[in-house]
């Protein structure tokens, strides 16, 4: 029998498949379709200090082999998430949850992570550093190694929970940024976030998204994710959660061979809400085909 369990910075998951933040909400809709306890974990909606209504519409557009989104971190705010959403999620899923944390200043990241530190159902903090720093001209925290390390040190100082820094692919040397996060105390890395992109409405002669640009996700970015997970695996010694365009068990195995210890599934959930369940069900046969008894043996397998 194949052992599908994996461990992320001391947190054990029954399998490596995790619905990605932003595509799974707080689990309510998916729990109506299947038992969420088949999942390894799930990363709930990106959380900020204050409630956010998100960007103007239209904020989602189709693209070849994927989709664009500029939702804008719509969420009810950290206090409402902790008081209302987390207790309900704990009734739907009995394993460790992953909290995706946003912020527009170092103080906001610190405060959000400090509050989540006392939130028992949350096992891992996934800190999204693709947010713009309002105190530094709007440049994203994840755009350079120095800023990424600043956020990492700030949140590491206020929580005992494992901290995984979620990196943007819209950078020059992602390995250097991941290394800076590791040196600043990160327990793990999550990558990739969406790729900056846009589309134009020919008839209106205007961008399709009200925000002009958005994040490209879906199968189109999968090869980018594989390359970047590979590069980060070569750069750091902490575990990696790989994501970006995963839609099948084979995709998950490929990202693990590139270096991921676990895999998040994003846009595919919107096309087929059973995607994660189907991937998990297909993993034992795939592992047998690949000749491994423990799925964790796949991690980094293409590097040796």
In the chain, pLDDT over 90 holds for what percent of residues? 94
pLDDT digits 0-9 by tens, 172-213: 999 999 999 999 999 999 999 999 999 999 999 999 999 999
Mean pLDDT, range 215-243, rounded to an integer: 98
Mean pLDDT, range 104-114, rounded to an integer: 96
Helix, strand, or coil (residue 115): helix
- Of the listed 113, 119, 131, 190, which one is catalytic? 131
Q: What is the pLDDT of residue 140?
A: 83
On the question of pLDDT at 139 being above 80, the answer is no
Mean pLDDT, range 216-232, rounded to an integer: 98
Name the phi and psi angles at 43, rounded to 5.
Answer: -95, 115
Q: Token digits for 65?
A: 């082999």
pLDDT averaged over the chain? 96
Q: What is the pLDDT of residue 27?
A: 97
Distance linking the first and last C-alpha atoms of the chain: 25
Q: What is the pLDDT of residue 135?
A: 61
Q: Taking the domains of the chain in order of start, what are their residue ranges?
A: 6-303
pTM for this entry: 0.97
Cβ–Cβ < 8 Å for 97, 86 = yes
On the question of pLDDT at 13 being above 90, the answer is yes
On the question of pLDDT at 138 being above 60, the answer is no
Peptide bond before residue 58 is cis, with ω within 30 degrees of 0: yes
Q: Token digits for 109?
A: 């990241």
Half-sphere exposure in the Cβ direction for 119 (13 Å, CA): 30
Active-site residue, 131 included: yes
d(CA 229, CA 224): 9
pLDDT digits 0-9 by tens, 34-52: 999 999 999 999 999 999 9
Per-residue pLDDT band at 133 (split at 50, 70, 90): low
Cβ–Cβ < 8 Å for 126, 166 = yes
Mean pLDDT, range 274-288, rounded to an integer: 98
Q: What is the pLDDT of residue 134?
A: 52
Q: Is CATH 3.55.50.30 the classification given to domain 6-303?
A: no
Q: What is the pLDDT of residue 165?
A: 98
Q: What is the pLDDT of residue 130?
A: 85
């Amino acid at each position: 029998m194949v052992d599908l369990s994996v461990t992320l910075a001391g947190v054990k998951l029954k399998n490596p498949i995790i619905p990605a933040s932003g595509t799974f909400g707080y689990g309510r809709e998916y729990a109506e379709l299947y038992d969420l306890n088949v999942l390894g974990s799930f990363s709930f909606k990106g959380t900020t200090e204050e409630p956010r209504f998100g960007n103007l519409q239209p904020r989602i557009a189709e693209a070849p082999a994927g989709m664009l989104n500029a939702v804008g971190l719509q969420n009810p705010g950290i206090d409402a998430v902790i008081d209302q959403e987390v207790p309900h999620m704990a009734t739907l899923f009995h394993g460790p949850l992953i909290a995706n944390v946003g912020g527009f200043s170092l103080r906001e990241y610190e405060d959000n992570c400090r509050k989540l530190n006392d939130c028992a159902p949350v096992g891992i903090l996934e800190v999204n550093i693709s947010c713009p720093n309002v105190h530094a001209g709007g440049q994203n925290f994840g755009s350079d190694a120095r800023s990424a390390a600043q956020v990492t040190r700030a949140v590491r100082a206020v929580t005992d929970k494992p901290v995984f820094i979620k990196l943007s692919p819209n950078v020059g040397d992602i390995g250097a940024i991941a290394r800076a996060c590791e040196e600043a105390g990160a327990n793990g890395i999550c990558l990739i976030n969406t790729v900056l992109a846009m589309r134009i409405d020919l008839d209106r002669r205007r961008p399709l998204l009200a925000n002009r640009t958005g994040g490209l996700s879906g199968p189109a970015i999968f090869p980018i994710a594989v390359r970047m997970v590979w590069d980060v695996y070569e750069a750091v010694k902490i575990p990696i959660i790989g994501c970006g365009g995963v839609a099948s068990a084979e995709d998950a195995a490929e990202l693990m061979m590139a270096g991921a210890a676990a895999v998040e599934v994003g846009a595919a959930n919107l096309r087929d809400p059973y995607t994660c369940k189907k991937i998990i069900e297909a993993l034992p046969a795939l592992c047998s085909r690949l000749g491994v008894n423990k799925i964790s043996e796949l991690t980094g397998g293409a590097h040796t």
